[in-house]
Amino acid sequence: MPVTLGPHLLLALLEGVVGALVLALTALGLSLVFGVMRIVNVAHGAFFMLGAVVTWYVSSATGSFLLALVAAPLAVGGIAVVADRLVLRRIGYEPESTIVATIGLLYILEQLVLMTYGPYARPVAAPIYFRIDFGWFGYSGYKLVVAAAAAFLLVAAWLALSRTTLGLYLRATQQDREIAQAFAVPVGRVYSLAFGVGGGLAALAGALIVPVQQAHYLMGLDALLLSFVVVILGGLGSLTGTVVAALVVGLADGAVSVLFSPTLAKIVATLLVGVVLAVRGRGLFGEELA
Amino acid sequence: MGPLAALTPLLETRGIGKRFGGLEAVTGVDLRLARGEVRALIGPNGAGKTTLVGLISGRLAPTTGRVLFAGRDVTRLGAADRVRLGIVYTFQITSIYRRLTVADNVAVAVQRRRLRRLADWLAPDARGLAREVEAALGVVGLAGVAAEPAGALPYGHQRLLEIAMALALQPALLILDEPTQGLAAAEIDALCRLVRDVAAGATVLLIEHNMAVVLELAGRITVMDRGRIIAEGPPREIEANPEVQRAYLGQPSATSS
Amino acid sequence: MTLGLHLAVLAVLAALQLVLPPFHHGMVARVMVLAAYAIGYNLLLGYTGLMSLGHAIFFAAGMYGTGLTVHHGGFGVAAALVVGLAAALAVGAVVGVMTVRTAGPAFLIVTMMLAQAFYLATLHFNELTLGDQGFILPALEVTLAGRAFALADPAVKYNVALVVFGACLLASLGLVRSPVGRVLVALRENEERTRLLGYHTGRYRVLAVALSGLVSGLAGATYTLLFSYVGSTFAGVLYSIYPLLWTLLGGAGTTLGPLVGTLLMTYAIDVTSGITDAYLVIVGAALVLTILWAPAGVVGGLRARWARWLP
Full DSSP string of C125-167: THHHH-TTT-EEPPP-EEEETTEEEETTSHHHHHHHHHHHHHH
- Evaluate whether residue A285 is within a structural domain: no
pLDDT mean over C275-304: 90
B204 versus A1: which is more confidently predicted? B204
B256 touches chain C (CB under 8 A): no
> What percent of chain A clears pLDDT 90, i.e. is strictly above it?
32
Please give, rounded to a whole number of angstroms, the shortest distance from the CA of C281 to a CA of chain A.
5
Nearest to C290 by CA among A108, A46, A97: A97
On average, the pLDDT of chain B sits at 88
Does residue C128 carry a pLDDT above 70? Answer: yes
Query: Cβ–Cβ of C103/A115 closer than 8 Å?
Result: no
Kindly state the helix (H) or strand (E) to which residue A92 belongs, with its residue range: none
Please give, rounded to a whole number of angstroms, the shortest distance from the CA of B16 to a CA of chain C.
21
Model confidence band, residue B6 (pLDDT cutoffs 50, 70, 90) = low
Please give, rounded to a whole number of angstroms, the shortest distance from the CA of C206 to a CA of chain A.
13
- Evaluate whether residue A201 is within a structural domain: yes
Q: Which domain holds residue A77?
A: 2-280
- Evaluate whether residue A109 is within a structural domain: yes
Query: Considering only alpha carbons, which residue of chain C is nearest residue A262?
Result: C124
Q: What is the DSSP string of B218-252?
A: -SEEEEEETTEEEEEE-HHHHHH-HHHHHHHHTPP
Rounded to the nearest angstrom, the gap between the alpha carbon of residue A263 and the centroid of all alpha carbons in its chain is 20
H helices of chain B, where?
Answer: 3-7, 49-57, 79-85, 102-114, 118-122, 126-140, 155-168, 185-199, 211-217, 235-240, 242-249
Number of Cβ within a 10 Å radius of residue C151: 18
Three-state DSSP at B19 gives strand
B145 touches chain C (CB under 8 A): no
Task: Closest CB to C108: pick one of A97, A99, A267.
Answer: A99
Q: What is the pLDDT of residues B66-108, one digit of tens each?
A: 999 998 999 999 999 999 999 999 988 889 999 999 999 999 9
- Evaluate whether residue A287 is within a structural domain: no
Q: What is the pLDDT of residues A203-233, one digit of tens each?
A: 999 999 888 888 999 999 889 988 888 888 8
Does residue A165 carry a pLDDT above 90? Answer: no
Q: Which of B108, B110, B129, B158 to mutate to test the interface with C (most CBs of C within 10 A)?
A: B108
Q: Name the domain count of chain A.
A: 1
User: Partners for B (CB, 8 Å, 3+ pairs)?
Assistant: C
> Of the ranges B177-181, C106-110, C130-134, C242-246, which is most confident?
C242-246
**Angle between helical axes of C257-275 and C297-305 (0-180°, round to 10):** 130
Model confidence band, residue B253 (pLDDT cutoffs 50, 70, 90) = very low
Asked if residues A78 and A92 have their Cβ atoms less than 8 Å apart, the reply is no
Does residue A182 carry a pLDDT above 90? Answer: no
Distance CA B106, CA B166 (A): 9
Q: What is the pLDDT of residues A108-123, one digit of tens each?
A: 999 999 999 989 988 8
Residue A236 is predicted with a pLDDT of: 65
Three-state DSSP at A290 gives coil
Asked if residues C67 and C222 have their Cβ atoms less than 8 Å apart, the reply is no
- Evaluate whether residue A290 is within a structural domain: no
> What percent of chain C clears pLDDT 70, i.e. is strictly above it?
100
C275 touches chain A (CB under 8 A): no
Q: What is the pLDDT of residues B156-191, one digit of tens each?
A: 899 999 999 999 999 999 999 999 888 888 889 988
| Domains recognised in chain B with CATH numbers | 1-86+174-179+203-257 (3.40.50.300), 89-170 (3.40.50.300)
Model confidence band, residue B34 (pLDDT cutoffs 50, 70, 90) = very high
C250 versus A262: which is more confidently predicted? C250
* C and A make contact (3+ CB pairs below 8 Å): yes
Query: Cβ–Cβ of B107/C178 closer than 8 Å?
Result: no
Residue A275 is predicted with a pLDDT of: 81
Model confidence band, residue A237 (pLDDT cutoffs 50, 70, 90) = low
Please give, rounded to a whole number of angstroms, the shortest distance from the CA of C26 to a CA of chain B.
37
What ipTM score was computed for the predicted complex, to two decimals?
Answer: 0.89
User: Partners for C (CB, 8 Å, 3+ pairs)?
Assistant: A, B
Which CATH number does the domain housing residue A135 bear? 1.10.3470
Please give, rounded to a whole number of angstroms, the shortest distance from the CA of C202 to a CA of chain B.
10
Query: Cβ–Cβ of C113/A105 closer than 8 Å?
Result: no
Distance CA A117, CA C100 (A): 43
B-C interface: how many C-beta pairs under 8 angstroms? 63
Distance CA A108, CA A111 (A): 5
C7 touches chain A (CB under 8 A): no
Query: Considering only alpha carbons, which residue of chain C is nearest residue B90?
Result: C196
